[in-house]
Structure 1
């Protein structure tokens, strides 16, 4: 199998942080990039989820709690604002 060079550009800080991380994992940059490329081929795409929303843990917990409440029959529900205001004593 013939080798080929791959030149990429990235920010210096990103490169240094990645090199440090990979060194802690016992890898060098070439090995890590090759792992990414092979995983991309195996997955027939980017080997991780690409997402736009980046919620912090508190927001994720709030969403999860809201979903539980929405489907829990033990929590009261209201079909109009007057009933909700009455329940809140407003």
Structure 2
């Protein structure tokens, strides 16, 4: 068996807590989960899940939201009521 090494990195406390809870629910330690991830990346030479940016934070949407916020702050926004949209 290959020699093991320690890997240290920083992680937001809330992210760590949620991952620990999820791992515990699956009967895994965080070390086991990261080991599974590392082995899969090494074997497949890719991130084993889709990595994409949330379109909400796209540059064009952020500009649109900043414009709307400026209009609201200036009192020039035209706000209208609409029905609540429920997701299934």
- TM-score scaled to structure 2, two decimals? 0.57
Q: Which runs of 5+ in 2 are unaligned?
A: 57-88
Distance 2:54 2:8 in 1: 30
1:22 aligns with 2:23: yes
Q: What TM-score do you get using the length of structure 1 for normalisation?
A: 0.56
Cα gap change, 1:32/1:54 in structure 2, threshold over 3 Å: closer, same or farther?
Answer: farther
Q: Judge which range, 5-14 or 39-48, deviates more.
A: 39-48
Alpha-carbon RMSD across the aligned residues, in angstroms, is: 1.5
Q: Distance in 1 between matches of 2:54 and 2:32?
A: 30
TM alignment of 1:2-81, pairs within 5 A: 2-53=3-54
- Deviating beyond 2 angstroms after TM superposition, the runs of 4 or more aligned structure 1 residues are 52-55
**Cα deviation, residue 52, structure 1:** 2.4
After TM superposition, give the deviation of residue 42 of structure 1 in Å: 1.7
> Alpha-carbon deviations, 1:50-81, whole Å to 9, x = none?
122458xxxxxxxxxxxxxxxxxxxxxxxxxx
- The residue that corresponds to 1:76 in the other structure is none
Which structure has the greater CA radius of gyration?
Answer: 1
